[in-house]
Amino acid sequence: MKLGVVGKGGVGKTTVAGLIARAYRDHGRQVIAIDTDSNPNLGMSLGLTLAETDAVPVLPRAVIVGTGGDRSAAELIDQYGVTTPAGVTLLSAIRVAEAGAGCTCSGHATVRTLLGEVMTDLADVTLVDMEAGLEHLSRSGGTLAYADVLLVVMEPSRKSVLTAVRTKALADELGIAHVLGVGNKARSAEDRRFLEEACSAEGIALVGVLPHEEGVAEVDRAGGVVAVSETARQTIDEIVASVDAAVSAVAARQPAP
Ligand SMILES: Nc1ncnc2c1ncn2[C@@H]1O[C@H](COP(=O)(O)OP(=O)(O)OP(=O)(O)O)[C@@H](O)[C@H]1O
Ligand SMILES: [Mg+2]
């Protein structure tokens, strides 16, 4: 299964991507996580130190992955994948290390062709933590064009819901089967209600709302692995169950080969 985590800047994509990747791993699934942020920090959500995260080798740009291409997916993962303390294999796709290094389109192109490959021999779940914004759904035919599911993370704010609505429209155009909403940083019952009502009005399936937890922000400041409350952990498990249900529903509708 290929899963993209998207949403407006700062809503918690990397935090949620790390929690989802670890939940799948805890359920015994093999997980590859791809960081496509030009300022990558998914590694820290998976237990690497800052120095280790910075040392993750960056995937080569503009590589065509797969049969008839430059490299196989297995070769790339072998050469560039780093096993994190969480047990998830991390790939870093886009790091911008110097000013004036040019646009990151060719890095996105590598991720796009990598996702175009059948990854099921290499991982049960390939999860992509996207950088903020919508460009990745239009650039190079859409970095996430081959995703099965997009999880669009929203804070309790109108702007982040609007980003989700635009994301869904672009994902529909790309033919991505499922766009599921995840609320994050809810501080109150009103925050939850806002997200539920706004998503329902906009036709976005909200599959879970994570609370605002001071511990998450503190760990972020101190630079460690995010630990969440039991309630948040259960919500993550529910989100994972909803993603699995969505993907099996699609698989069940496809004719047998
Ligand atoms: N549930 C939460 N409770 C409290 N703080 C949170 C929560 N989720 C995320 N944060 C904090 O919000 C900030 C942004 O989170 P994160 O980096 O995961 O967002 P992002 O969407 O990946 O950001 P960017 O768009 O820059 O990639 C961080 O300081 C993080 O610790
Ligand atoms: Mg991020």
% helix, strand, coil for the chain, step of 5 = 45, 20, 40
Whole-prediction pTM: 0.90
- Ligand that lies nearest to the alpha carbon of residue 184, given by its number in the listed order: 1
Instruction: Find out whether the beta carbon of 35 lies less than 6 Å from any atom of ligand 1.
Output: no
- Rounded Cα–Cα distance for residues 59 and 196 (Å): 38
SS3 call for 86: coil
Residues of the chain with pLDDT under 50: 140
Instruction: Find out whether the beta carbon of 22 lies less than 6 Å from any atom of ligand 1.
Output: no
Instruction: Find out whether the beta carbon of 45 lies less than 6 Å from any atom of ligand 1.
Output: no
In terms of DSSP H, where are the helices of 132-229? Answer: 158-174, 189-202, 214-222
What is the structure's pLDDT at 254?
A: 57
CA 127 to ligand 2 centroid distance, Å: 13
CA 212 to ligand 1 centroid distance, Å: 10
What is the structure's pLDDT at 102?
A: 59
CA 184 to ligand 1 centroid distance, Å: 9
In the structure encoding, which two tokens stand for residue 120, read together?
Answer: 């099921």
What is the structure's pLDDT at 179?
A: 94
Instruction: Find out whether the beta carbon of 217 lies less than 6 Å from any atom of ligand 1.
Output: yes
Instruction: Find out whether the beta carbon of 71 lies less than 6 Å from any atom of ligand 1.
Output: no
In the structure encoding, which two tokens stand for residue 174, read together?
Answer: 């790309």
CA 209 to ligand 1 centroid distance, Å: 14
Task: Point out the ligand 1 atom lying closest to the alpha carbon of residue 17.
Answer: 18
Residue with tokens 């992509």: 128
SS3 call for 152: strand
pLDDT in tens, 146-156: 889 999 999 99
- Rounded Cα–Cα distance for residues 183 and 180 (Å): 10
In the beta sheet, which residues pair with residue 3? 127, 149
Closest Cα to residue 190, out of 175, 173, 209? Answer: 209
Instruction: Find out whether the beta carbon of 184 lies less than 6 Å from any atom of ligand 1.
Output: yes
- Rounded Cα–Cα distance for residues 61 and 45 (Å): 24
Task: Point out the ligand 1 atom lying closest to the alpha carbon of residue 11.
Answer: 21
Closest Cα to residue 117, out of 81, 79, 77, 83? Answer: 77
Cβ-count burial 214-234 (b if 16+ within 10 Å, e if not): eebeebeeeeeebebeeebbe
- Rounded Cα–Cα distance for residues 16 and 206 (Å): 14
* Sign, CA torsion 96/101/103/108: negative
CA 220 to ligand 1 centroid distance, Å: 8
Instruction: Find out whether the beta carbon of 133 lies less than 6 Å from any atom of ligand 1.
Output: no
CA 255 to ligand 2 centroid distance, Å: 37
Closest Cα to residue 1, out of 123, 110, 92, 151? Answer: 123
Largest CA distance in the chain: 53
Residue 180 near residue 151, CB atoms below 8 Å: yes
